[in-house]
Amino acid sequence: MTRTTQRFLLSFLAMATTGLLAAANGLTPATVAKPSVQARAKPDFNAPAVATLGKDAPVNVSGQDGLWFKLTLEGGKTGYVRVNEVRVAYGTKETGGIGQTLFTGKAGKGRVSETASVRGLDESALKTAGFNGEQLALMESYRATPEEAEAAAAKNRWQATDVAYAEEYKPGQGKGKSRNGKPESTQAEKRARFSVARGLLSQLGGRMGGAMSSGDKLIGKSEQEVLEEELALGPMIAGRVLGAAPLVKDPKVQRRVNLIGRWMASRTSRPDLPWTFGVIDDAEINAFAAPGGYILITRGLYQLLANDAEVAAVLGHELSHVVQQDHYNVIRKQETQGAVSGMALSQVNTGGGVAGSLARNYIEKHGAAIMMTQLDRNAEYRADHAAGIYLARGGSNPLELYAVLQKMTALGSTSPRLASLYKTHPSLDKRLDALDKRGYDDLQAYLDR
């Protein structure tokens, strides 16, 4: 046996023993994630260091204080490190430290009364759920105005900050001139020309005319048409999610997420959407972002969150999906595929705007199951990064999402409460790796908040 192998085995045994002892003592095992970390006497960068820890050193988390983890060190000492300086280990049981270390009494006003959990919101439940108009109207009744949200943010001492974000979708990007310097044709003009060509070709043969008819569907939609579809599809999807799991019966909770969410939404490039937020009565840990600004988080996720900033972090991730039109683009892809097959794409009125009939039919056929569609991994990594941007713009610390992901990790890789999330998102360690790889250099000025 080589010395390298011996060192590896000794390190592995040390980590395993640390993890077992930690579990027995109600601690959360973790490892140091950076080359060198100083544990401080207090959760303060100016506090004296009590220990220097090397990369991959096993440690035990005994509590959380904001964006600091409290560690139990050798000799009974305690020290504090930032939440991104260590990596919490996946829990080996359902508890994984829940209620013992990271989460003891920290949710505070974030707690909601325990109720009988509805069936977990898997793809089947969302596909078969009926549209609940009453619950949708109730959800919309909790909407906050930008002024109300700004007043609530002031109580948290959150101040709006300008932070650049090159990847963010910005309305109006498509306007301008074509490559030859001439003004771009509108979608209506393109369709008119295509219609003339189709008419001429139809005289030459039915098949060619039919092919042109299908090709007509592939002409890009204008921003206004896309917006109208988003505004129509959002309520259709949200109403079906609410048909599977109603809102938590706590107006204070619903009001709180709308105030926080509206403040964060005002810091995005699409502040004028009818942003609407809600907490649904489901014990699983998940969240849903429907087109047009409808965002729902589960009671299970909400109860993990220690403060308003962590609520803002979770909502920031979902805001990105709406801003970047992630789920809308999935539906649009289905619409385009249908056009290629020659399916009709007549326009219909859906009550909230004009949506392509094929997109509407997709929702009517599949219900809210679109919310369980796995997005491109880069979309999820981008949403995690965007959450940090929106937190910084909203006056919070970009590391708040990092803290939430660490808590979720502590639940374990096989937790039934995370089953649906794992089906639609990259693993938590990969998400944390992506955040570490990107780093916070562009947000360094906001990490001390």
Instruction: State the pLDDT at residue 157.
Output: 97
What is the residue range of 39's domain?
Answer: 3-89
173 is a domain residue:
no
Same structural domain, 437 and 362: yes
386 is a domain residue:
yes
Same structural domain, 354 and 254: yes
Same structural domain, 285 and 209: no
Choose the final residue of a domain: 89, 123, 147: 89
Written in H, E and C, the secondary structure of the chain is CCHHHHHHHHHHHHHHHHHHHHHHCCCEEEEECCCEEEEECCCCCCCCEEEEEECCCEEEEEEEECCEEEEECHHHCEEEEECCCEEECCCCCCCCCCCCCCCCCCCHHHCCCCCCCCCCCCHHHHHHCCCCHHHHHHHHHCCCCHHHHHHHHHHCCCCCCCCCCCCCCCCCCCCCECCCCCECCCHHHHHHHHHHHHHHHHCCCHHHHHHHHHHHCCCCCCHHHHHHHHHHHHHHHHHHHHHHCCECCCHHHHHHHHHHHHHHHCCCCCCCCCCEEEEECCCCCCEEEECCCEEEEEHHHHCCCCCHHHHHHHHHHHHHHHHCCHHHHHHHHHHHHHHHCCCCCCEEECCCCEEEHHHHHHHHHHHHHHHHCCCCHHHHHHHHHHHHHHHHHCCCCCCHHHHHHHHHHHCCCCCHHHHHHHHHCCCHHHHHHHHHHHCCHHHHHHCCC
Region 161-187 average pLDDT: 69
Region 184-190 average pLDDT: 50
293 is a domain residue:
yes
Region 269-273 average pLDDT: 98
Same structural domain, 161 and 252: yes
Q: How far apart are CA 238 and CA 322, in angstroms?
A: 13
Question: Using 50, 70 and 90 to split pLDDT, how confident is the model at 94?
Answer: low
Question: Using 50, 70 and 90 to split pLDDT, how confident is the model at 370?
Answer: low
Region 37-57 average pLDDT: 97
Q: Which amino acid is at 34?
A: K
Question: Using 50, 70 and 90 to split pLDDT, how confident is the model at 331?
Answer: confident
Same structural domain, 298 and 340: yes
281 is a domain residue:
yes
Same structural domain, 142 and 31: no
121-135, 289-303, 374-388 — most confident range: 289-303
Same structural domain, 240 and 269: yes
Choose the final residue of a domain: 28, 57, 89: 89
Question: Using 50, 70 and 90 to split pLDDT, how confident is the model at 204?
Answer: low
Instruction: State the pLDDT at residue 241.
Output: 92
Same structural domain, 195 and 344: no
Instruction: State the pLDDT at residue 135.
Output: 97
Instruction: State the pLDDT at residue 174.
Output: 57
Question: Using 50, 70 and 90 to split pLDDT, how confident is the model at 333?
Answer: confident
- Angle between helix axes 428-438 and 400-410 (nearest 10 degrees) is 150
Q: What is the CATH number of the domain that holds 23?
A: 2.30.30.40
Same structural domain, 253 and 315: yes
202 is a domain residue:
yes
Rounded mean pLDDT of the chain? Answer: 80
Q: pLDDT: is 24 or 149 the higher one?
A: 149
Q: Which amino acid is at 335?
A: E
100 is a domain residue:
no
Choose the final residue of a domain: 89, 119, 149: 89
Same structural domain, 153 and 245: yes
Question: Using 50, 70 and 90 to split pLDDT, how confident is the model at 186?
Answer: low
Instruction: State the pLDDT at residue 98.
Output: 46
Domain count, the chain: 3
Q: pLDDT: is 232 or 394 the higher one?
A: 394
179 is a domain residue:
no
Residue 440 has pLDDT above 80, yes or no: yes
Same structural domain, 353 and 436: yes
Given a contact cutoff of 8 angstroms between Cβ atoms, the answer to whether 128 and 367 are in contact is yes
Residue 359 has pLDDT above 80, yes or no: no
Region 28-33 average pLDDT: 94
Same structural domain, 47 and 140: no
Residue 214 has pLDDT above 50, yes or no: no
Residue 115 has pLDDT above 70, yes or no: no
94 is a domain residue:
no
